[in-house]
Amino acid sequence: MIDTKASLSTFAKDIDKGLSASPKCLSSKYFYDEAGDKLFQTIMGLGEYYLTRAEFEIFDTHKASMLRSFLGADESFNLIELGAGDGTKTKVLLRHFVASGIDFNYSPIDISQHVLDLLNSDLEKELPKLKVNPLQGDYFDALSKLNQNHCQKEVVLFLGSNIGNFSNTATEQFLSKLSENLSKGDLLLIGFDLMKDPNVILNAYNDQLGVTKAFNINLLNRINNELGADFDLEAFTHFPTYNPVTGETRSHLVSTKDQEVTIQALEKTYYFKAWEAIHTEVSQKYSLKMIEDFAKNAGFRIVRNFTDRENYFVDSLWEKC
């Protein structure tokens, strides 16, 4: 049965736009339906996927320093997380902040209501004293709602190298818009995956168990389920690449044969040549110089860079100038 809810119309239009483009592309933001959420949780536990472990280490090692930096001369703050997911890593900070008796509110923002519901339920059980205000939807719409009652310092979290899913141009635009939504003295803690051994990076997106492949192909399954498409999931394979010069990792779904796919909700058929690719995701890796330039150009100054022992990952704390 095809879902005809109004919220699906943007999804349908974006799918049509992407599959009509040359080369074809699909937005990675649509990876995260219920099945996609579960697959990504599995990915984060894979041996090859170093990003989650590195950021866990950063939080566990530096949580006290982060709290001191967040507070500064203030007695309280609003903690806002963009793309909160299930909050697994953030809970390292939340537990420490609550145990320290700090006065703060936590507002997780995510496109997935399913994930927010799970997170809110978990936090009610684990940290019942924590004040939680989950918001579903677009980051900037949610930030705008929060700013209507802005009376405390805001500390925004954008973790897990989510910024890496943007092109460099889109990153500049995103950070500038984020800066516009913050006041002088507000803070941003943002995660960046650093440039490193290309083999380490590529293995993280091409795991031996094939979970990342399933995660990408699940997007086609979602189109089948929600838009009445007839993608043959067995007729696509997953292919990632990494460019050590630019730091860009790209993921593709590649058609293994000549085929056509009809999407009932769009009343349209799309044609694929053998070995034609659909671009699904960019995952940028950064140098510290790139990070410094992004901060400066968006109206921030870097307060401190928190890194793991291997220097694989950095959570960079910025202050709005």
Which of 72-76, 121-125, 243-247, 306-310 bottoms out in mean pLDDT, i.e. has the lowest?
72-76
| pLDDT recorded at residue 172 | 95
Q: Which two tokens stand for residue 234?
A: 């067995």
C-beta contacts of 199-202 below 8 A and 24+ residues apart:
200/50, 200/312, 201/242, 201/249, 201/285, 202/240, 202/241, 202/242, 202/249
With bands split at pLDDT 50, 70 and 90, how would you rate the model's confidence at 4?
A: very low
DSSP 256: S
Domains annotated on the chain, with CATH = 6-31+213-284 (no CATH), 50-194+286-320 (3.40.50.150)
Q: What is the pLDDT of residue 274?
A: 98
Helix segments in the chain, DSSP class H: 6-20, 34-44, 50-71, 90-99, 113-126, 139-147, 168-180, 198-204, 211-227, 288-297
What is the Cα–Cα distance from 107 to 13, expressed in whole angstroms? 30
Average pLDDT, the chain: 92
Q: Which region among 73-82, 296-305, 310-319 has the lowest average model confidence (pLDDT)?
A: 73-82
Which whole number is the average pLDDT over 276-290? 96
Q: Closest by alpha carbon to 28, among 252, 266, 263?
A: 252
pLDDT of residue 115: 84
**According to DSSP H, which parts of 75-138 are helical?**
90-99, 113-126
Q: What per-residue confidence (pLDDT) applies to 89?
A: 87
Judged against a pLDDT cut of 50, whether residue 55 lies above it is answered with yes
Angle between helices 288-297 and 168-180 (to 10 degrees): 40
Is residue 139 pLDDT above 90, yes or no?
no
In tens, the pLDDT along 216-245 reads: 999 999 999 999 999 999 999 999 999 999
Q: What are phi and psi of 193, to 5 degrees?
A: -85, 125
Sign of the torsion formed by the C-alpha atoms of 76, 82, 88 and 92: negative
Are 286 and 261 in contact, with CB atoms under 8 Å apart?
no
The mean pLDDT value for 142-162 works out to 81
Residue 301 pLDDT grade (very low, low, confident, very high; cuts 50, 70, 90): very high
Check: CB of residue 149 under 8 Å from CB of residue 268.
no
Give the mean pLDDT of 298-319.
97
Instruction: Please state which of the ranges 2-16, 17-31, 175-189 shows the lowest mean pLDDT.
Output: 2-16
How long a stretch of residues is the chain?
321
pLDDT at residue 244, rounded to an integer = 95
pLDDT category at 110 given cuts 50, 70, 90 is: confident
What value does the mean pLDDT take over residues 37-53?
A: 92
Q: What is the pLDDT, as a whole number, of residue 150?
A: 63
Over residues 293-298, mean pLDDT: 97
| CB burial string 279-301: b at 16+ within 10 A, e below | bbbbbbbbebebbeebbeebbbe
- Yes or no: say if 274 and 257 are a contact pair by the CB < 8 Å rule: yes
Does residue 310 register a pLDDT over 90?
yes
* pLDDT reported for residue 135: 87
Q: Which pLDDT tens digit goes with each residue over 141-151? A: 877 777 666 66
